[in-house]
Structure 1
Amino acid sequence: MGEMSQEQLEAIMGLIVNAGNAKSDAMEAIQAAKNGGFEEADEKLKAAEAALLEAHHAQTKLLTAEANGEALPITLLTIHSQDHLMTSITFNDLAKEVIDVYRRLG
């Protein structure tokens, strides 16, 4: 297994940070909706979507490099980054549903 390049490390860290931000924004969106702040909830969901888009860009950079023959070492950090992304996507999808329920109840 080769050593990770600086560019690969930066992409992985970008993936982790942006996916984490997306999950935090989605949680804040749920809390806002719970308190009747649907405009704030919508803003937080937009922020979550923007952060997920940035995370996807980082993932795409890694996938493109690998497709071009630049091997990405499989480390706990690479697995952690993918875990963060998938968890955030799932959480964001669920947040939209929870907010919709709060909106219907309100």
Structure 2
Amino acid sequence: MAPKEVNLEQVSFKITLHAGNAKELAHDALTEAKKGNYQKADELIEEAHEEYAKGHDIQSENMSKDDPKQRVMTNMLLAHAMDHLMSANTEISLIEEMIELHKE
């Protein structure tokens, strides 16, 4: 049986969705930390990590599939989605540090 073709557009949009959710949650966490709501900030950061993980799982799952057209590494939309995912990871890390500074 031939491998199922990967729908790169659908995969890309799912990754971008979770990356965007992760970024928004991280920024919401910083807003809460600025208000002194550290418990809420910690909860939001945890949710941001969960959203990031969902995006990363989708990326990992689909990169391991065979793509008969050999498009996985050349699709611009997928590259854009992966960029969002990596920037979400960076933003979460930086915001975690900023929250720690607010706690001090």
Return the TM-score normalized by structure 2.
Answer: 0.85
Q: Quick check: 1:87 aligned with 2:87?
A: yes
Whether the 8 Å CA contact 1:19–1:51 is kept in 2: the answer is yes
Q: Quick check: which one's helix share is greater?
A: 1
Within a 5 Å distance, the mapping from 1:26-65 to structure 2 comes to: 26-65=26-65
Deviations 1:42-89 (A, max 9, x none): 110011010001001111022111xx4542262331121011011100
Residue identity in the other structure for 1:27: H
Give the Cα separation in 1 of the matches to 2:38 and 2:45: 10
Sequence identity, in percent?
A: 27
Unaligned stretches of 5+ residues in structure 2 = none
CA distance in 2, matches of 1:96, 1:59: 24
RMSD in angstroms over aligned alpha carbons? Answer: 1.6
Task: Give distance in 1, aligned partners of 2:78 and 2:61.
Answer: 13
Letter of the structure 2 residue corresponding to residue 28 of structure 1: D
27-36 or 9-18: which moved more? 9-18
CA distance in 1, matches of 2:45, 2:67: 36
Give, as a single letter, the amino acid of the residue that structure 1 aligns with 2:81.
S
- Aligned residue pairs total 98
In structure 1, the gaps of 5 or more residues are none
Amino acid at match of 1:75: N
